Amino acid sequence: MNPILNLERVTVEFVRQRAVGRPRQVLHAVNEVDLEIAPGEAVGLVGESGSGKSTVARAITGLNPVTSGAIGVDGNSVLRAKGKDLRMLRRRFQMVFQDPYSSLDPSMSIGSTLTESLTVHGLERGPAAVERAADMLLAVGLRSADLAKYPHEFSGGQRQRIAIARALMTDPDLIILDEAVSALDVSTRAQVLDLLQGLRRDRRLAYLFIGHDLAVVQRMSDRIAVMYLGRIVEVGPADDVIRNPQHPYTASLLASVPQVGSRGAERAAELRRRLHVRADPPDPWNPPSGCAFATRCPFVMEMCRAETPPAVEIASEAVSRCHLATDAGRGTESEARWDRAREFLAMPSPAS
């Protein structure tokens, strides 16, 4: 079975022009990213701000041009498709953006917002399109009477439900959720997450769930991919990535999660001590040679500064881009300290 989405060595570059006579600068916002999503699978994509998560999403949807690499949908190339063929492929994946206030056109009624995609893709018009829009509103917990209203008449959570309904209008196989719940309050966030899980189950949807809240991403995902400075540095089953990270950057993200209670806070402080990571990432316009995380990693070795680590298969469906996972990195003092840190991370949190 073909993956519903397949990224092969996808690279997205941005160019900054310099003064006359000086070389231009190139930013590798996405750097040779490989990622697959199977039909009905949910894959989480996590990382700090600026790691390239949203750029990956925008590259898939055509909002950012791809410099090199390949993007396939069910075995068909998105980048080579043109005209009608491209529109047919794009019907199969839709996107829900982070901000429910800016992602809807304030001058368009909800009915017009939802039926627009049907018109663009030549699917339905007139009463049939309106009926489908009403069905989608009901599917996300709103009323068909809301078709006549405008975005300003809804709360943030309701607007995000409308955005989800809009994404469902073309009956897609994959929905890309780019920080789709991060702008919502806690109770509304839980409701929208429950909605997304129900829709995935009922419609056999695949998700690319982009976020920074590790607990939310773990809850929503079958697998998690971790990005740092444009590269995916770790991929694996969601629970395994959270409980047994294979890359120091992933462990540092977990160490930064706030803990409830005094004993939990003490444990978090000890973990941060073991994973003492420098706060500031390098300038993405001038990244370090070798491993991009080498300037912050507490387990850095000389080879890390000289060579870009390869993707190493740790276990079935688990991959890490870290020299500590290679034959050259095994048996070193850095590996021993890394293993002790991971053992501490894997221990159950004490009751507060």
| 12-28 tens-digit pLDDT | 999 987 767 677 889 99
Q: What is the pLDDT of residue 260?
A: 62
Q: How confident is the model at residue 239 (pLDDT cuts 50, 70, 90)?
A: very high
Q: What is the C-alpha separation between 234 and 245, in angstroms, rounded?
A: 8
Other Cβ atoms within 10 Å of 204 Cβ, number:
10
Asked if the model's pLDDT at residue 349 lies above 60, the reply is no
Q: What is the pLDDT of residue 264?
A: 63
Asked if the model's pLDDT at residue 160 lies above 80, the reply is yes
Q: How many residues does the chain have?
A: 352
Q: What is the pLDDT of residue 259?
A: 66
Q: Identify the three-state secondary structure at position 12.
A: strand
What's the pLDDT tens digit per position in 251-273? 988 888 766 666 666 766 777 77
Read off the pTM. 0.91
Q: What is the pLDDT of residue 23?
A: 78
User: What helix, strand, coil percent values describe the chain, rounded to 5?
Assistant: 40, 20, 40
DSSP code of residue 257:
S
Q: What is the pLDDT of residue 120?
A: 84
Q: What is the pLDDT of residue 81?
A: 87
Q: What is the rounded average pLDDT for all residues in the chain? A: 89
Q: What is the C-alpha separation between 67 and 59, in angstroms, rounded?
A: 10
Q: β-pairing, 25-37 with 5-16? A: antiparallel
Give the residue-averaged pLDDT of 160-173.
94
Give the residue-averaged pLDDT of 280-297.
90
DSSP code of residue 144:
G
Amino acid identity, position 318: A
What is the sign, positive or negative, of the torsion defined by CA atoms of 216, 218, 219, 220? positive
Q: What is the pLDDT of residue 24?
A: 80
Q: What is the C-alpha separation between 282 and 221, in angstroms, rounded?
A: 29
Q: What is the pLDDT of residue 263?
A: 65
What is the sign, positive or negative, of the torsion defined by CA atoms of 208, 324, 292, 270? positive
Asked if the model's pLDDT at residue 75 lies above 90, the reply is no
Domains of the chain, with CATH numbers? 1-92+173-187+196-243 (3.40.50.300), 99-169 (no CATH), 245-346 (no CATH)
Higher local confidence (pLDDT), 343 or 202: 202
Give the residue-averaged pLDDT of 114-129.
88
Give the residue-averaged pLDDT of 44-68.
93
DSSP code of residue 96:
E
Under 8 Å CB-to-CB from 98, ≥6 apart: which residues?
A: 178, 179, 180, 182, 183
Distances (CA, A) of 287 to 22, 66, 118, 282, 290: 19, 20, 44, 6, 9
Q: How confident is the model at residue 350 (pLDDT cuts 50, 70, 90)?
A: very low
